[in-house]
């Protein structure tokens, strides 16, 4: 049996998303960025963020998977859904739910760089603090968190818990 411990409530998340939106507006004023949401986890964050950013913008999605031998998670990264929008010469803002080890994000970054965007930045609701790892720069960070399995606000465990309004830590019951 699993127990959920609330880490970030709906109001706290909403305040931080609003702050990120204002920062993005200031940085992209006069431009029309392409918000590139990473499915499935980022869809709620992306929707809330885009509603608050008062700029002309386009929204598109990518989906990545990491699968090893026998269908195990954690192997080679592959792109399941590619962006449909034109990337070349565009200001691209990758919108992620969580940046953990950064393996999938680095794969996506390299893919997008080859398309020659005008600019490429990352916005992540959650970033794991990993001082031992070199990560891509996340210009727009919602919250920095430590270890543990997180669910809610788009994050899931086997497709469950995604629609919870807050972010919770999964804990094992004794």
Question: Residues with catalytic annotation?
Answer: 100
* Contact yes or no for 157/131 (Cβ under 8 A): no
- According to DSSP, residue 115 is labeled T
Of 126, 52, 139, 47, which Cα lies nearest the Cα of 91?
A: 139
Length in residues, the chain:
174
103, with CB counted inside 10 A (0-12, 13-18, 19+), is: middle
CA distance 132 to 155: 24
């Amino acid at each position: 049996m699993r127990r959920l411990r609330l880490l970030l409530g709906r109001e706290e998340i909403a305040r931080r998303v609003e702050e990120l939106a204002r920062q993005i507006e200031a940085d992209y004023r006069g431009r029309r960025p392409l918000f590139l949401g990473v499915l499935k986890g980022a869809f709620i964050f992306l929707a809330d963020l885009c509603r608050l950013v008062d700029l002309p913008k386009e929204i598109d999605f990518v989906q990545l998977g990491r699968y090893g031998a026998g269908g195990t998670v954690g192997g080679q990264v592959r792109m399941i859904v590619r962006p449909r929008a034109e990337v070349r010469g565009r200001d691209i803002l990758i919108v992620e739910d969580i940046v953990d080890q950064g393996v999938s994000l680095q794969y996506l970054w390299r893919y997008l760089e080859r398309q020659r965007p005008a600019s490429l930045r990352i916005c992540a609701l959650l970033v794991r603090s990993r001082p031992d790892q070199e990560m891509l720069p996340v210009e727009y960070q919602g919250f920095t968190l430590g270890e543990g399995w997180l669910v809610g606000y788009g994050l899931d465990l086997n497709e469950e818990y995604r629609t919870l309004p807050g972010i919770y830590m999964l804990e094992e019951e004794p």
